[in-house]
Amino acid sequence: MLKIKNINHIGILGAMPEEVVNGLKHLCNIEKNIFGDLTIYSGLWKSKNEEKKIYISLAWSGWGKVSASRAASRLLSLNIEGIPSISTIIFSGVAGAANEDMKQWDIVIPSELIQYDMDSSPIFEKFIIPALNESKLKMNLDLLDWTTSTIKSFLKSNMHLPFGDVYNGLIGTGDQFISEEKDLEYLKKQLPGLNAIEMEGAAIAQVAIQENIPWIIIRVISDNAKTSAEKNFREFLESYEQSSWTLINCLLSKWPL
């Protein structure tokens, strides 16, 4: 059994295998933990720095808030002999643009997320999550700044990569794939400053907040969430898979000891 001192244990999730599966190529001594139809792969990250010991537990959850919450809970409850509990959870994947300035391959690292289909009114105001009494789930500012600056610096030194501009701001999470312009415009009116929409991020953030675990969400724009969204999304996934691990690997290489 692997036993290492002074090791970080980081949980990494995506909704689909295309978003994180290439990470398996960067792990050694992989073990599997299987929970029904969810498989969590755990192993030591292959680092060029022998002093940097990072253990990774990785999975893809399936689409939607319930699947994402279930996967995050399973991930955080892992008990691997000789390895500490997960200290940070990273969710990485694609999203639809809500900001008209955004293009395919732009990156959104949200400073805050909202579950736009949460509505417990009139008991609570619309969008409020009763368990937290908050509507917008805010990422730790120091972690947000570190993640943003690390990725920007990496991309500046690797301009051959397909990624575009890096944004912060608001992401909306809900259990529907937005493909109609009228639906997108409705959300934008309700949520000024909305940058992107997806189906898992705010659920991951809620679980992490309630479990007192730091979290990072990284989204790459795949489509404009309008009538061409489904076609653009499927075409984009084919090329995105080849670069999907790049941003995560960038963060791991700079991860504080």
pTM of the model as a whole = 0.92
- Catalytically annotated residues: 19, 223
The CA-CA-CA angle for residues 177, 224, 129, to 5°, reads: 45
Structure tokens at 225: 């969430």
Q: What is the pLDDT of residue 235?
A: 80
- Spatial distance between the Cα atoms of 42 and 80, rounded to a whole number of angstroms: 9
Is the pLDDT at 1 greater than 50? The verdict is no
Structure tokens at 33: 């933990």
For residue range 153-198, list pLDDT tens digits in order. 999 999 999 999 999 999 999 998 887 888 889 999 999 999 999 9
Gyration radius (Cα) of the chain, Å: 18
Is the pLDDT at 58 greater than 90? The verdict is yes
User: Domains in the chain and their CATH numbers?
Assistant: 8-240 (3.40.50.1580)
Question: Residue 112: what are its φ and ψ, rounded to 5°?
Answer: -155, 150
Using omega within 30 degrees of 0 as the cis cutoff, is the peptide bond preceding 214 cis? no
